[in-house]
Amino acid sequence: MIRVLIADDEILVRIGLKTIIPWEQYGFELIGEASNGLEALDMIRQSACDIVLTDIRMPECDGLTLIERLKIESPGTKCLILSSHNDFEYVQKALRLGAVDYVLKLTMEPDELLHKLIALKEQVVQENERQLQASVREFKMSVYSREAKEKRLKDLLVKACSPQDVQEFMGEFGFWEPSEPYYIVSMALDRYQEELDENRFRSERLLNFTVMNILTEIGKKYEQDEFVEIDNGRFAMIASTDPCEMLTEIGSAVQTFLQLSVSSGISQPLESLNEMHTGFLQAEEALLHRFYHGCGGIMRYVSGRYTAHAGPQIEEEWVKLLELRDEEAALNKARDWYLASSAGLEHPDELREQWIQLVHVYGSYAAKLGGDLYSVPLYDNRYPFHAVRSLETLQEIYNWFTGWNRIYFDYVRQLTGKVWRPEIQEVIETIRNRYNENLKVFEIAKEIGFTENYLSVLFKKETGETIMDYLTRIRMDKARELLKDQSYKIYEIAELVGYGDSNYFSKLFKKMEGMYPLEFRKHVLGRMPTSKNSTVS
């Protein structure tokens, strides 16, 4: 609706104008009437107006003054003059001031006024459309510029760029060399993947967008506005002053609005923008100390924090405990190792890899007895490798291991002398021979001569796992072998082990291994052999 205001000191003229035109029928809305220019201005200041029908001669503030004031205060408002025969000089002045047209009150016909109003309406609509398009273009350019700036800034942080790259960035986006030391901050949402799996936030994009909004709003308070989304719930910031107080407020806001915690790493003070990448690496290494510090902390980079540390425990000692089935001694050994490691002298990635190697020792012993690490009942709904690779702190890994250790020893005690019933052996043989087919439990049951429900219950009772769990385990065993051959693409491996959907295969693989198939391939092929006597320290 086009909003119209009538300004005339004669009440009969105002009444006549309101009644001779079917305003709403033609898309107009009368927002009010005024007896002089001052009243009209007050109304327009309170409520936007598209068209003003105004008399020229009015007390206190005439039409000419009203037009002049509107030209300043509301330049988009169109003015249509209501004039008398002897007002022609005033009409000319009004037109020069910006009025768009005029009508003679004494000879005015409804059709004439309506025609002029419709013409003005078209002008207003066209101008509004042009303004809207201009705003959209401006917004898109703003977004494009911001996205381009963030992308370039991200590259400068995460990649080793030349001084020339930095200078080009500074020139293009108006960056200047800092006059005082600045800091690079790396932030990470804790337990990010778990939150995504729970789907509380509907989408990863929405979650990250919300976090960026929180960072931006708090950044304004501290006059910081250089935030960049990195990936996987990680963000970076360039701070012109020590960011500790701001990071505390950010952590509190994220906890309040999202019920999430955020950990932060802070670089050493930096002097030149050429040091951005170095600062980012320092901030990332500081953030790694979350492994010891726990979630939700703010950690500063310390040069030379991690040193090589060789513990007293070796593979043979762990194997001996497993062979003795000494569950309590294994727990004590793990506790001593955990307490010694808590000092934080080793690089978190190296210590995590040692826990991975310990899981391998447990797996090798289970295989020696005819079992399989992946058939050990889950603890905390996590497969062993996935647990060690995904849990974010040393304490979380240790807590998980102490729970899983008991389940593992129960499992290996059941392996000794275990002989499967013939029908169970037949199911196992069918799966091992046809794992690459689209096997269904009811089909297997039908071939063996049992009902699906009976066979499922029997298999679970005998083996401790479901038929589908066993099928998945066999498929993943084969997938791990195929991933060592780089000639196979991931989707080809998925098909070879019985999955038509490679995305589903990848998600299932990560649930068991703690990494996606491509990551596993790089990890296995890139891993250097280690000395037998330093497998687990």
pLDDT tens-digit series, residues 226-272: 899 999 999 999 998 999 999 999 999 999 999 999 999 999 999 99
The predicted pLDDT at position 534 comes to 34
* Domain 159-300 class in CATH: alpha beta
The predicted pLDDT at position 313 comes to 54
The predicted pLDDT at position 533 comes to 35
In the chain, where the domains are located: 2-130, 159-300, 315-415, 422-534
Buried b (16+ CB within 10 A) or exposed e, 471-481: bbbbbbebbbe
The predicted pLDDT at position 535 comes to 35
Q: In which element (H, E) is residue 466 found?
A: none
Query: DSSP readout, 501-523?
Result: -HHHHHHHHHHHHSS-HHHHHHH
Give the amino acid at 218.
I
Query: DSSP readout, 24-74?
Result: GGGTEEEEEEESSHHHHHHHHHHS--SEEEEES--SSS-HHHHHHHHHHH-
- Nearest Cα residue to 16 out of 105, 76, 131, 88: 105
What stretches in the chain show pLDDT beneath 70? 85-86, 137-145, 308-314, 416-418, 527-537
CATH code, residues 422-534: 1.10.10.60
The predicted pLDDT at position 142 comes to 54
pTM of the model: 0.66
Considering the domain delimited by 2-130, tell me its CATH architecture: 3-Layer(aba) Sandwich (3.40)
